[in-house]
A and B are shown apart, each in its own frame.
Chain A
Amino acid sequence: QWNEPRICSRRYMKVDFADIGWNEWIISPKSFDAYYCAGACEFPMPKIVRPSNHATIQSIVKAVGIIPGIPEPCCVPDKMSSLSVLFLDENKNVVLKVYPNMSVETCAC
């Protein structure tokens, strides 16, 4: 993903349950688009990265350099969506659960 922007943004990540060894009991989905957030939250942060007020302050403090060791704000999920998962429980009964915050919709600093 070299062509992805350096600035904080949502990146594509598809998770296959077989890759993490959960495919034996998860019936559906076999995989889902989880996405992830990555990129810099450098000063000055544009509105597109939706910086929180705290992130703005931290970014200024970092840029000024008055307090040593303060890092740049992190690029993190802002809005997330749920995922319905159909799986077999320990007694081999079919269970449906709707897990919140499984897929990233937007990222922010």
Chain B
Amino acid sequence: SPPACPVQPPADPDSSAPGRDPRRGSPPPPGLGSIAQDMVAVHMLKLYEKYNREGSRPGDGNTVRSFKARPEFLAQKPLYCFNLTSMQDSEMILAATFHFYADKRPRHREVFCKRSKNSSCRLLHLPPVLQLNLVFQSIHQNSAYGLVKGNITVLLQRRGAWHAKDISHIVKESKRAGELILCVELDSGEKHQGFPEQVASHLPYILVYANDLAISEPNSVAGTLQRYDPFPPSDGDPNLSPNASTETRVRRDTYLASSIQNNELPEVDYSNNKYNKHDIWENAYRSLKPKASRKDRRRKGQENTETLKKSQVLNFDEKTMKKARRK
């Protein structure tokens, strides 16, 4: 097994070398809220600042995804599981790193030393290098056991610090196989007693560096950042408005054979169903219009009434004037 230093992925532009605490740099920007307490969020912020400062170089990729660990028990073993399902098919993985925090010392030794009340106990019983086996396994739904995807042994010379390990091959293989629930067991050879008493900010995480091929496509920003559907599904809803029919609407205009005459792109089939809904931008923007508050609506209602009144008064005046003129 390789000695101590984990591998830094080639695409990782992060300045936080393995074993260094990324929190030692500048504090996270204000307004981040509770997520700034997570090590993974702090790490992502540092990457964001770096990309902003230097821009992404060719080969760096345009996407970095982070995945927080969820502690789970599988076959009575404590595992850290990652849900990688948010990775898109269009994202070509360049590299993936597993980040984990090594405890200062194993728990059972701590307890033993407390009992012995010997101050030098800890130094005597603390081995210079901690060997840790990282057993990665993919978990299928409704299964109590996982399929081992990779076994990596690391020798850690520094404790109480963060370490990173290149797991590109494991994540690539998991994505290729469509096995996107990945769990890791951190086996130090000690008897399993449960999860170490670590704070949430010390939970392991995975960073996946990818190149999203779909990001250059039109409207890609809405694909990932627009969270609401401007066309909510309305199948089978009896309370539909008459215009909300899901059936294809019949064209009522005159059919023109030549695209030159009808101002439509010659290679686009406008009769196809897929253009009926999601490519109508006017409707999408209509949904973005801010709704008027109740107060505003009431005021608007009053205005409308006043306008109506005014127009009636004006008409009356005109009639009166006509009558007056006749007289």
Whether the Cβ atoms of A96 and B215 lie closer than 8 Å is: no
Q: Does A86 contact B (CB under 8 A)?
A: yes
9-residue interface stretch from A3-11, A26-34, A37-45: A26-34
CB within 8 Å of B: which of A38-68?
A: none
How far is the CB of B154 from the nearest CB of chain A, in Å? 24
How far is the CB of B80 from the nearest CB of chain A, in Å? 14
Whether the Cβ atoms of B63 and A22 lie closer than 8 Å is: no
A30 to B29, CA, bound (A): 11
A26 to B83, CA, bound (A): 21
9-residue interface stretch from B221-229, B274-282, B299-307: B221-229
Whether the Cβ atoms of A25 and B41 lie closer than 8 Å is: no
A95 to B68, CA, bound (A): 11
Q: Does B44 contact A (CB under 8 A)?
A: yes
Q: Does B288 contact A (CB under 8 A)?
A: yes
Whether the Cβ atoms of A96 and B40 lie closer than 8 Å is: no
Whether the Cβ atoms of A28 and B83 lie closer than 8 Å is: no
**Which residue on chain B has the smallest CB distance to residue A81?**
B55
Whether the Cβ atoms of A94 and B227 lie closer than 8 Å is: no
Whether the Cβ atoms of A94 and B51 lie closer than 8 Å is: no
* Chain A residue total in the interface (Cβ 8 A): 28
A69 to B32, CA, bound (A): 53
Task: Give the residues in chain A near B167, CB-CB below 8 Å.
Answer: none
Whether the Cβ atoms of B35 and A27 lie closer than 8 Å is: yes
A96 to B31, CA, bound (A): 17
Task: Give the residues in chain A near B48, CB-CB below 8 Å.
Answer: 28, 84, 86, 96
Residue ranges of A at the interface with B (Cβ–Cβ < 8 Å): 20-22, 24-28, 30, 82, 84-100, 102
Residue ranges of B at the interface with A (Cβ–Cβ < 8 Å): 29, 31-32, 35, 40-41, 44-45, 47-48, 51-52, 55-56, 62-68, 83, 85-86, 212, 215-216, 220-221, 224-228, 288
Name 6 A/B residue pairs within 8 A (Cβ), A-sorted: A89-B86, A93-B86, A98-B62, A98-B63, A99-B220, A100-B215
Pick the 3 closest A-B CB pairs, nearest first.
A98-B62, A96-B64, A94-B44
20 additional contacts, CB 8 Å, given A27-B45, A96-B44?
Answer: A20-B288, A21-B288, A22-B226, A28-B48, A30-B31, A86-B44, A86-B45, A87-B224, A87-B225, A94-B44, A95-B65, A95-B66, A97-B63, A97-B64, A97-B215, A98-B56, A98-B63, A98-B215, A99-B221, A100-B62
